[in-house]
Amino acid sequence: MPVATEGSQLAPGRVLPVQLYAKVAGVLFLLSFIGGGFGEAYVPSKLIVATDAAATVQNLNSSELMFRLGFAGTW
């Protein structure tokens, strides 16, 4: 989005301060951090059984929503 300078033709209501962009970027970064932690650390610790593949498959079958949310969290 173009930034208006003094004497430009843009309407004053269309000017967005840099602080607003920084706040939006900060919120998106925080959401990415939380989603990534959920998808990369929490979900595998609840679904994967390191010594038993059959138990892992059973966990995946019984918790399809958590499995899908784990993928969504890492994007």
* 74 band by pLDDT with thresholds 50, 70 and 90: confident
3 state DSSP class of 37: helix
What pLDDT sits at residue 16? 74
Dist CA 6 CA 1 (whole Å): 16
Distance, CA of 41 to chain centre? 14
3 state DSSP class of 6: coil
Dist CA 74 CA 57 (whole Å): 21
Q: What confidence tens digit (pLDDT) does each residue in 10-57 have?
A: 556 666 788 999 999 999 999 999 998 998 889 999 999 999 999 999
What pLDDT sits at residue 5? 57
More confident residue, 54 or 70: 54
* 71 band by pLDDT with thresholds 50, 70 and 90: confident
Q: Are 39 and 69 in contact (CB under 8 A)?
A: yes
